[in-house]
Structure 1
Amino acid sequence: MDARAIIAKLRRGDVPSRDELAWFAQGLSNGTVSDAQAGAFAMGVCLRGLGEEGRVALTLAMRDSGESLKWDLPGPVLDKHSTGGIGDCVSLVLAPALAACDAFVPMISGRGLGHTGGTLDKLEAIPGLCTDVSESTFRGIVEAAGCAIVGATADIAPADKRLYAVRDVTATVESLDLITASILSKKLAAGLEGLVLDVKTGSGAFMKTPRDARTLAAALVNTANMAGCPTSAIVSDMSQPLAGSLGNALEVAEAMRVLCDGSGGPLAELTVLLGGVLLANATVTQDIDDGMQRMVSVLSDGRAAECFGRMVAAMGGPVHFTQNWQRFLPEAIVIREVLALQSGVVTAINGELLGLAVVELGGGRHVESDTIDTSVGFSDVVRLGDNVAKGEPLLRLHAAREDVGDRVAKLVIRAITIGGEMPIIPPLVYEKVR
């Protein structure tokens, strides 16, 4: 086969065959396809589209460009993926809660991207914990703790890694077909028996409107199911931070309050729903309500926290982390409040700007090689509809230096709108897509 012929086919509006897409994915993996050809391919897909069958074929081709894991475990192998948001530390709670429900969760996660935080960066706020592990170690942690949250090895969907880098510099990131294949190729390579997708919409999400989020959710669900992995999706709100904190160690603290202290709120509510959907789809429970009740049980009686503690210890973190987690997490040098400049009600929160403000504090990356300060971020963030008086705190800022804190405080003031009328507050969950 020839990359030029496949690209020409796309240019004419024809969908390459399954074999052609498989060949192209292998070419991305082994270097046979050049960067110029990869960019032309991405642009062709972006402009012409692949259709449903082509989308499935590309997803499977990218999955098969590397190794696919297989499991022999006494329970279903389940996972979740979020399209990204702010204050979203669901994975840290959901994975151990599912493990406590006798499922196994081999969660291959990523680092921060743009204004959104990365699950691996959050976990690495725990001293000693390493998310870069070998396949044999990964398997051992999943078997012993019931869950492991790790980074992808070079052998998992290498075609996606190559194509993603090209998409980032060719303005083709937004392609529905390429987004779908990128997300699902890695998840399917993990050998899953069930998947739930949390597709975010709102100011802190990549998909700003519910309509766009529904379209992506449908594409992901249909493609994953056609590829043989039972999958459902939730379209959830990201017009404000999910949890009350943004930043790596601060979001770990939010997760620990749910796991160890019985805290509720939107973080716990969404975790319980996602877990209930997964357990029902995997026939671990009779229906979603039964699955949600089981999730509530393992969160409230400490079993989920025990699974999290075993995972942390197996990944090099403190052995007794869950018993005294406040002692282990790093604290910023500068902690201060950002105060409202006027009285009124919180009418809007620009989640993307808040997320970028965390990056400015050092809690995210401008370039891939940047080192993250896991202690910085925001806590006690106001929510939509809150009444605030002039001089009252909008949030608590955690910074490494006073001058950085001063600069970022101005971004916070811009990101949080104070008005005179109560806003329409979106629901936490818009709909389920099955």
Structure 2
Amino acid sequence: MSTEYSALQKLGTWSLVPAPLNKPVLGSKWMFKTKYLPNGKIASYKARLVALGCSQEFGIKFTETFSPVATMVTIRMLLTIALHHNWPVTQLDISNAFYPRFIFSKADPSLLLYAKAEDQVFVLIYVDDILITGNNKSQIQLTLQHLQSAFRLKKLGNVSLFLGIQVTQTTYGYFLNQTHYANELLSHSGFSDCKPSTTPALTKPSKLQDETLFSDPQLFRKLAGSLQYLSITRPDIAFAVNSICQFMHPPRNCDYLALKRLLRYIKGTANFGLPITRGSLCLRRYSDADWAADPIERKSMSGYCTFLGPNLISWSVKKQTTAARSSTEVEYRSLSSAISEVLWIRRLAAELLIPQPQTTVLHCDNTSAIALANNIVLHARTKHIEIDHHFIRDHIKHGNIDIAHISSTDQIADIMTKSLPSSCFTFLRSKLTIRSPNG
């Protein structure tokens, strides 16, 4: 607490001013956390002084924030690039979470870039945790000296545990997993000794589902939220987690059974994770949709996954906001959403000095949606998606993206949109590269 308070004073994180008239004044409180290493030993004790209140409104109760939060996509891309160039990745810890104002990347404001002549240095910030890598050791040391002059800096060596994610260096590169977190989750939920299941969800739910409300909704929400965090390195559970989290408010007994099924799958795959290996740095994406998948609202599911060379860097599972008239429309809207993120990743890649001069290929298994994307003549039935049509066609025309057909069997994004039989699920999981540390 003393260290935190001293750092806040040293950095001048507040100014004493008269209380404004007729305005609410927020209090503050101390937050305490014991951080553990994967082996169960205590890593450190953390104390944070935070603003009190969870209904803060911008412009009334605050006007600025100072804690950059990197996206997981940027973190995976940075590790991929560092591995590609054989650069060491150093992990830092700042004793206080407030930063001076830097000029950050336009694509991701938590990424600080330095590129001069042949020198390249990248600094990635997640509140008070930092990754730094580059090709110039002296420039990296200079950056560390500047940080150390302003903050109480703790150099943790090569990256090994970042945001609760274990980063293991292997002969082929890195292996990202949350085995310790998964085992803790199983222990706290009473599933440490459960029988493992081969898939995270049933292919077809029983027609005789128990619709009675679950007796402990708080437990359900706690477990569902914990599973969301586990999906950071486990895209194979993304669809099941998304399905469960749709019933956070009024969970039923059948929803809890689905959650138990997912925990049983995690029991058998707790050590699974995401490898990062050497290879090309070419972007490709798979996009899929499942028409009218929601039996209640008849809304469709969209899913996509993005690879940078051999490495999975981005994925998404999302229910579409409106019901669609046809499977073509569903696939087309899924393509439009996928392209939006592809364009952002291309901008980020350019700032990381791996521009994508070649067209990024989007793999889709719906021939009608591909034909619509490439056809300048709109049919009357598709006028209601005209904006998406022009958006997609513009980027095809300018050579940013291209849409290629892929068979449904090989459509990797299929695992993001529906429950699958065991053999199909295992095949697509391997295509996602999700596996145990030893393959």
Larger-gyration structure (1/2): 2
TM-score normalised by length of structure 1: 0.27
TM-score by length of 2: 0.27
The structure with the largest strand share of the pair is 2
Choose between structure 1 and 2: higher helix proportion: 1
Greater RCO (CA < 8 Å, at least 6 residues apart): 1
